[in-house]
Amino acid sequence: MEPVRVLNSGYDMHDVKFERYYSRAFFTSVSMPSSGVTNEGSDTRKRKRKRVYNLNEKEVLAENRHQEVRSVILKAHEAFQATVAPSLRNYITFDGRDDCVPSPSKSCSSMQNLGIEEGEVNFVELAALWQAPLYEFSFSKGQVDCEEEESRTTPMFNTIIKSSSRTSEVAECGACKYLLPKSCTFLISDISEVHRLIPGDSKDGFNLMVIDPPWENKSVHRKSLYPTLPNKYLLSLPVKQLAHADGALVALWITNREKLRHFAETELFPAWGVKMAAVWYWLKVTVEGTMVSPLDLAHHKPYECLLLGYLPSKIGSTSEESVQFTGSREHADLPDKFVLISIPGDHSRKPPLKSLLSKHIPGQRHAERGLELFARELSAGWTSWGNEPLRFQHLNYFRER
């Protein structure tokens, strides 16, 4: 998959800048190993390899899972290398214009660590200020519906903002300009306000949900990339209440930690009422097409997992307990152990899944009603929620077509 081209379909007059999306691949002071083999010989990795003989119980389980998918991933990567990889550099064109290149000298250092350039807003920090309720977006009149009466401005935080425009448009906050894709909806808020998205009638609910939680993680914490959330908060996400009456396909990103996988499968999905259906793998490659790290490293796999499950239809049920799965026909179409291959963008930025998942939505051939939870970007026709869903929407990330 080439994420930038997928994202571009949501805009009519702009394109995502390759060099902003792939900033880690092009401006690689934060290094990504250029090949899946080069680091094998380093002392650190040798030390890590020795630990294979002292795996604890969880590590053994993780290693067993890895062995189960290893050949599938290798096969997919071989096919990729034989077909797409040789022309990968041609897909990704960097036009070298000065205004496209992130300029460290222009950035304030703490924001720069987060990949946030001068003039871009750190929404998480802004929301914590006492002035937060006073911040507003302004739009061209008539283009945006919001909870308030028709107005040119709308509060930035804790307000559902819907751009019903059939073309992409710009929302402004002071000097900051954010590009909104066609027909998108978003809510910038803390998890305590996510209930605002629960529909009054479940026929208006979502039939496709992508969830990428801020799992507690030492690396994210150390680099202060974004705030993380303890698992207990995720248990209370109102996934069931957000779902469409005819059911929903739920896609959950998880890291490779066995503890997390176990929690997601045995506690989180059951608490949300989701039944596991498949596991997909996102294999991360370099611009040269090699894996970003050796496939068998114990603690740093070049792939991440996406757990997929279905929320059952609510139609015909009299109580929550009696909710049953219906229409298993479409569930059978969902492939298991599907491998998606792309060059990674910013830290934790996931490839867009919309086009891959929309054909597996349950129900009677419903139009897609997509929701991304913990989003950092918007998607045409979808609703995006998180404490920074406009993070990658700043005009700095785009160029005019």
Sequence-separated (6 or more) residues with CB below 8 Å from residue 269:
250, 252, 275, 276, 307, 309
Name the nearest CA neighbour of 326 among 342, 336, 318, 314.
Answer: 314
Dihedral (CA of 153, 178, 216, 219) sign: negative
Binds ligand SAM (CB under 6 A): choice among 342, 383, 387, 393? 387
3-class DSSP assignment, residue 135: coil
Binds ligand SAM (CB under 6 A): choice among 282, 374, 382, 397? 374
Cβ proximity to ligand SAM: between 100 and 229 the closer is 229
Q: How many residues does this entry show for the chain?
A: 401
Binds ligand SAM (CB under 6 A): choice among 244, 331, 350, 394? 350
Site for ligand SAM in 25-44 (CB under 6 A): none
Q: How far is the CB of 162 from ligand SAM (least distance, A)?
A: 19
Tell me the window of 43-51, 80-88, 131-139, 383-391 that interacts with ligand SAM (CB under 6 A).
383-391
DSSP E strands, 202-355 = 208-211, 248-254, 275-284, 303-311, 338-342
Q: Is 378 in the site for ligand SAM (CB under 6 A)?
A: no
The percent of the chain in helix, strand and coil, each rounded to the nearest 5, is: 35, 20, 45
Exposure string for 249-287, b = 16+ CB within 10 A, e = fewer: bbbbbbbbbbebbebbbeebbeebbbeebbbbbbbbbbb
Binds ligand SAM (CB under 6 A): choice among 178, 376, 378, 390? 376
Using CA atoms, how far apart are residues 151 and 138, in angstroms rounded to an integer? 9
Cβ proximity to ligand SAM: between 88 and 187 the closer is 187
Q: How far is the CB of 42 from ligand SAM (least distance, A)?
A: 28
Q: Is 397 in the site for ligand SAM (CB under 6 A)?
A: no
Q: Is 229 in the site for ligand SAM (CB under 6 A)?
A: yes
Using CA atoms, how far apart are residues 262 and 181, in angstroms rounded to an integer? 36
Residue 217 CB coordination number (10 Å): 15
Cβ proximity to ligand SAM: between 33 and 386 the closer is 386
How is residue 158 annotated by DSSP? S
Q: Is 61 in the site for ligand SAM (CB under 6 A)?
A: no
Cβ proximity to ligand SAM: between 352 and 363 the closer is 352
Q: Which two tokens stand for residue 124?
A: 């998480």
Q: How far is the CB of 316 from ligand SAM (least distance, A)?
A: 34
Q: How far is the CB of 374 from ligand SAM (least distance, A)?
A: 4
Using CA atoms, how far apart are residues 255 and 299, in angstroms rounded to an integer? 11
Tell me the window of 4-12, 223-231, 312-320, 358-366 that interacts with ligand SAM (CB under 6 A).
223-231
Amino acid sitting at position 194: V
Q: How far is the CB of 78 from ligand SAM (least distance, A)?
A: 27
Q: Is 16 in the site for ligand SAM (CB under 6 A)?
A: no
Q: Is 214 in the site for ligand SAM (CB under 6 A)?
A: yes
Exposure string for 307-319, b = 16+ CB within 10 A, e = fewer: bbbbbbbbeeeee
Cβ proximity to ligand SAM: between 116 and 245 the closer is 116
Q: Which two tokens stand for residue 29?
A: 């002071």
Query: What would you report as the CA-atom Rg of the chain, rounded to the nearest whole angstrom?
Result: 21
Q: Is 212 in the site for ligand SAM (CB under 6 A)?
A: yes
Spell out, one character per residue from 90 to 129, where the chain touches ligand SAM: x when CB under 6 A holds, - when not.
----------------------------------x-----
Q: Is 295 in the site for ligand SAM (CB under 6 A)?
A: no
Using CA atoms, how far apart are residues 311 and 271, in angstroms rounded to an integer? 11
Residue entry with tokens 């609510």: 314
Binds ligand SAM (CB under 6 A): choice among 380, 388, 397, 398? 388
The secondary structure element, H or E, covering residue 16 is strand 14-16
Cβ proximity to ligand SAM: between 185 and 202 the closer is 185
Cβ proximity to ligand SAM: between 290 and 387 the closer is 387
Binds ligand SAM (CB under 6 A): choice among 202, 290, 348, 393? 348
Sequence-separated (6 or more) residues with CB below 8 Å from residue 311:
239, 240, 243, 247, 248, 249, 250, 272, 273, 274, 275
Spell out, one character per residue from 154 to 193, where the chain touches ligand SAM: x when CB under 6 A holds, - when not.
------------------------------------xx--
Name the residues that contact ligand SAM, by CB under 6 A: 124, 190-191, 212, 214, 226-227, 229, 348-350, 374-376, 386-388
